[in-house]
Amino acid sequence: MDLALVWFIAIAVLWTGYFFLEGFDFGVGVLLPFTGPRNSVDRRVAINSIGPVWSANEVWLITAVGAMFAAFPAWYASVLSGFYVPMLVVLLSLIARGVAFKYRSNRDSDRWREYWDLAIFYGSAVPAFLWGVLFANLVQGVAMGPDHVVTAGLLDLFTPYALLGGLTTLSLFTLHGAVFLTLKTEGPVRVRARNAALYSAVAAVPSVVGFAGWTQAAHGQDWTFFTAAAAMAALVLGVASTRRGREGWSFLWTALSVLTLTVTVFGSMYPNVLPSTTDPAHSLTVANASSADYTLTVMSWVALVALPVVMGYQAWSYWVFRRRVTGEAVTGESVTAGGGGGDTGTAAVADPGPPRS
């Protein structure tokens, strides 16, 4: 098999890993306002369910983009410059949300936390939407000249198909995040998350069915029929499992839906990586956008050695934090009364330690 194709698959794997992992932490961010009243312990429970892991989830994005740079420089260059404004908005969102997670509890002030909660909400919802828009465009193609410079204007990127793509990732990630919360929390947050999962299914199921169906009908290959169908079926099964309170199964199904949908998108793109709607001859393809074999060989060895190790220790970190997050765990044992939000003035350290005798 030729190395360029191997790296196309590797990049698909990295994006799939990114959407699977950051998908649920985007979802938790989108649902934050619905997990509990302002400044409540409940909201902190929700944030702490992804607290130790969201940052490493985001590294999948950094690795995916870095791999595009190394393995398909022309793809990286055309996509990032051609989608300049959406990428700028994604960056600003990721900045706002990343800082918000870390700084939210650093001051004992209700207004302070409310601002950061807004940053978490928009910082999660906006990229969750824009990734769908972006990938729909990568499948559908954009206006692009012979020098591979994208000539499409900003509004040209928001076609009906692209908007449906955005709605799909937003609603699917929200559902995925809701299911994650049911699995990782206890008490009122778990109950609200279950409801949120069922509500978001109302948007997610038709979006995924519509988007996967449209993708398959207009751009798909023979084999992507099966992954597109699997994306729809897995999602329906995920919702059914949630209804029956089977949280673990439900998470596996929504994860599978994210995974198969991403594979469908990459499969439908191939052999192009960015089709040109101006003239198919100007399209960027796996063959014409890739680096030379030497670079790809070097990168293959690095990935072959490093990726299993990375996946190993990242999985271990999930194992360490496998317990459900509870209000008591978040506020510390010594805080008993009220459970308002004002207990975080001590920042990193909500718990002044067990009472001394």
Partner 1 sequence: MEALDLARWQFGITTIYHFLFVPLTIGLSFIVAVLQTFWHRTGRHEYLQATQFFGKLFLINFAMGVVTGIVQEFQFGMNWSEYSRFVGDVFGAPLAMEALLAFFLESTFIGLWIFGWHRLPRAVHLACIWLVAIGTNLSAYFILAANAWMRNPVGHEINEETGRAELTDIWAVLSNDQAWSTYVHTVSAAFVTAGLFVVAVCAYKLWRNTHHGDTGNTGEAPSAREHSLFRGALKVGLVFTLLAGAFTVLSGDHQAKLAAEFEPMKLAAAEAHWDSEEGAPFSTFAVGDTDQGHNPIDVGVPNVLSFLATGEFDGEVHGMNDLQESYEEYYGPGDYIPNVFVVYWAFRLMMGLGLFGIAVAAAGLYLTRGRERLPRNRWFYYAAMAALPAALLANVFGWILTEMGRQPWTVHGELLTAASVSPGVDLGTVAMSLALFTAVYGGLFVVEVGLLRRYIKKGPSHLVPDLDDDEDESTIPHFSY
- Min dist. Cβ of residue 88 to partner 1 (A): 5
Mask for 189-228, x = binds partner 1 (CB under 8 A): ----------------------------------------
Question: What part of residues 309-338 is at the interface with partner 1 (CB under 8 A)?
Answer: 310, 313-314, 317, 320-321, 329-333
Q: Which stretch binds partner 1 (CB under 8 A): 49-57, 181-189, 257-265, 275-283?
A: 49-57
Residues sharing a CB contact under 8 Å with residue 43, sequence separation 6 or more, in sequence order? 32, 35, 36, 37, 117, 341
Q: Is 149 in the site for partner 1 (CB under 8 A)?
A: yes
Sign of torsion over alpha carbons 118, 123, 129, 133: positive
191, 202, 287, 347: which one contacts partner 1 (CB under 8 A)?
347
The pair of three-digit structure tokens given for residue 83, joined into one six-digit string: 């989608």
Nearer to partner 1, 120 or 170 (CB): 120
Residues sharing a CB contact under 8 Å with residue 33, sequence separation 6 or more, in sequence order? 117, 121
5, 6, 9, 73: which one contacts partner 1 (CB under 8 A)?
73
Q: Is 270 in the site for partner 1 (CB under 8 A)?
A: no
Q: Is 351 in the site for partner 1 (CB under 8 A)?
A: yes
Q: Which residue has the tokens 């023979």?
A: 222
Q: Is 277 in the site for partner 1 (CB under 8 A)?
A: no
Cis peptide before 271 (omega within 30 of 0): yes
Nearer to partner 1, 102 or 244 (CB): 102
Q: Which residues pair with 288 in a beta bridge?
A: none
Q: Which stretch binds partner 1 (CB under 8 A): 26-34, 189-197, 232-240, 297-305?
A: 297-305
Mask for 85-104, x = binds partner 1 (CB under 8 A): x-xx--xx-xxx-xx-xxxx
DSSP 124-163: HHHHHHHHHHHHHHHHH-B-B-TT--B---TGGG--HHHH
Q: Using an 8 Å Cβ cutoff, are 151 and 5 in contact?
A: no
- Give the whole-angstrom CA distance, residue 179 versus residue 93: 23
Q: Is 76 in the site for partner 1 (CB under 8 A)?
A: yes
Q: Is 153 in the site for partner 1 (CB under 8 A)?
A: no
**Number of residues engaging partner 1 in binding (CB under 8 A):** 84
| CB burial string 74-88: b at 16+ within 10 A, e below | bbbbbbeebbeebbe
- Min dist. Cβ of residue 23 to partner 1 (A): 17
16, 35, 39, 63: which one contacts partner 1 (CB under 8 A)?
63
The pair of three-digit structure tokens given for residue 55, joined into one six-digit string: 């940052």
Q: Is 147 in the site for partner 1 (CB under 8 A)?
A: yes
Sign of torsion over alpha carbons 140, 146, 150, 153: negative
- Min dist. Cβ of residue 184 to partner 1 (A): 13
Residue 268 belongs to what H/E stretch?
helix 247-269
Q: Which stretch binds partner 1 (CB under 8 A): 76-84, 222-230, 241-249, 267-275?
A: 76-84
- Min dist. Cβ of residue 81 to partner 1 (A): 4
Q: Is 229 in the site for partner 1 (CB under 8 A)?
A: no
